[in-house]
């Protein structure tokens, strides 16, 4: 690992922990993504994490807070854009029809996208608005 990679790994670890400590499983390789998509049944929230400010101040807090809803996804996973590039690219392959953006969130059922929240619906929104967006999807699909 070169010094830049080591630095970014150290810097991004708390950003990873924020989701994994809330029950999200990290998918760090394309193979893990493929296995998750092909074998996971039911509803899943996928968070494409990022080091940007809107991920820190909006996306991760909203994802965590949305889990307080009575209805919620059965599975929680995350990939980290810019860090686990191959895993993120593979996940984006499964999000057909949606432009790559980070952060972003997708609600899936049996690997199929039911609801997608791109960066444009995270940046410049309040945490409460993003939570409402997520919980409406949970109430409809979970």
Residues with a known catalytic role? 52, 54
DSSP-derived letter for residue 102 is S
- Residue the block writes with tokens 């949305």: 66
CA dist 110 and 82 (Å) reads 26
- Residue the block writes with tokens 């967006």: 133
The two tokens of residue 107 are 């609600």
């Amino acid at each position: 690992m070169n010094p830049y990679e080591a630095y970014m790994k150290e810097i991004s670890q708390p950003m990873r922990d924020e989701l994994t400590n809330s029950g999200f499983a990290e998918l760090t390789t394309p193979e893990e993504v493929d296995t998750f998509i092909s074998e996971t049944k039911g509803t899943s929230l996928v968070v494409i994490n990022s080091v940007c400010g809107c991920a820190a101040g909006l996306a991760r807090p909203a994802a965590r807070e949305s889990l307080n809803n009575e209805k919620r996804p059965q599975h929680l996973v995350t990939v980290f854009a810019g860090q686990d590039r191959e895993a993120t690219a593979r996940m984006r392959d499964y999000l057909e029809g949606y432009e790559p953006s980070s952060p972003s969130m997708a609600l899936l059922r049996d690997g199929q996208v039911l609801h997608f929240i791109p960066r444009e619906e995270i940046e410049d929104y309040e945490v409460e608005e993003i939570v409402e967006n997520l919980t409406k999807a949970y109430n409809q699909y979970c």
